[in-house]
Amino acid sequence: MSITFQKSTEKELDTFIQMRINQLREEGAEKGFERIELDMWEFNEGTLTFYESAGFQTYRRYMELDLK
């Protein structure tokens, strides 16, 4: 048995992720969930832009102080 992987373009990947977000919205609403939460690194600006374009909003920010 062999598995072949095809390299996706960034646009194809964004489309796939958007489809999954839409599925999660529908499933979550059907189950009575109030929201979907994501955790991401602050420096990942491209990901932040993508999620904002999908309707996500920042509502909380965590900060830390490294004691090492």
Domain boundaries, the chain: 10-27+35-53
In this predicted model, what pLDDT tens digit does every residue of 12-67 receive, in sequence order?
A: 888 888 899 999 999 999 999 999 998 888 888 988 888 898 899 988 888 889 99
In this predicted model, what pLDDT tens digit does every residue of 34-49 receive, in sequence order?
A: 999 988 888 889 888 8
Of 41, 45, 50, residue with least CA distance to 14: 50
pTM of the model: 0.65
Give the C-alpha separation, 21 to 37, whole Å: 11
Given a cut of 80, whether residue 4 has pLDDT beyond it is no
Q: How many CA atoms lie within 13 A of 58 on its CB side?
A: 11
Task: Considering only residues 20 and 7, tell me which one the structure prediction assigns the higher pLDDT.
Answer: 20
Given a cut of 90, whether residue 10 has pLDDT beyond it is no
